[in-house]
Structure 1
Amino acid sequence: MIILAQEFMQRMGYGEQPYIIFQHSDIDRKHMHIVSVRVDENGQEIPYRFDLKRAIAHCREMEQKYGLHPPTKSDTKQEIAELKRVDYPAGNVKEQVKRTARTLIERYNVRSLSELNTLLELYNIRIDEVKGVTEKGPYHGLMYGALNDNG
């Protein structure tokens, strides 16, 4: 997986940038995420126009080269079909929320937090924007939570 990530970053033109690779299987298949920066050593923004399109093309080429199996539409439909509403009494709420929210966020193109919550609430999940100030300074982020069947 490390070799694949390194090759991918070189192909994308980010090979000399610092990046972090993490592998997991939270959606019933092993995959990795790569996080990097879009600022070069001189503080200039690295152009990223069409990165998604290029990334997909590089992934398809690497899948062929290494004999990997890309996710198919039926895999995606199966993942969505297997999703269940978060069930607090079933336990491990954090894992239920994480798996379900991640799968939905990866599969649907939403344009706002309100639109995302409309989708997530079908699965007893809600995301709220939180911000404020503490003695350590200001904070701004998202808080994920589980809902009961009555919201």
Structure 2
Amino acid sequence: MYRALFPRDVFAELDRLQREMQEVFETGPSIRGVGRGGFPAVNVGTTPQSLELYAFAPGLDPATIEVNLERGVLTIAGDRAADLPGQDEKAALHINERFAGRFRRVVSLPEDDVNPSGVSAEYRDGVLHVSVKRRQAPAPRRIAIQ
């Protein structure tokens, strides 16, 4: 009888509701970033030679995307046009979940670790890949004694 009245786990539902409420009222970034709700969604990672950023932005014209690196701050900005049905009075839009309009994503990079002249960006299949080369650490060298 208990199962018929409550087909789901009540505590799991309460946990989900608590997480959703925290997301609504969260104003600052956490250790995991602000990714939810931001456009484009980004992944940032590092290799020993570079910092790699992938922005998932399908349907954009690469000419409308701006990528800037200044003082350790990488900025991706652009504009996404709205793809809505005709604007006559008989057309109706029932669901619109796709983001349209200006967007801007900012990622802080360790300024002393990046080489501003070693930045490349490529847009393919809806994914913007930005690679920022790291500065080479000075290699230790042996000093000859005279």
Higher relative contact order (Cα pairs below 8 Å, separated by 6+ residues): 2
TM-score calculated relative to the size of structure 2: 0.22
- TM-score (norm: length of structure 1): 0.21
Structure (1 or 2) with the greater strand fraction: 2
- The higher radius of gyration belongs to 2
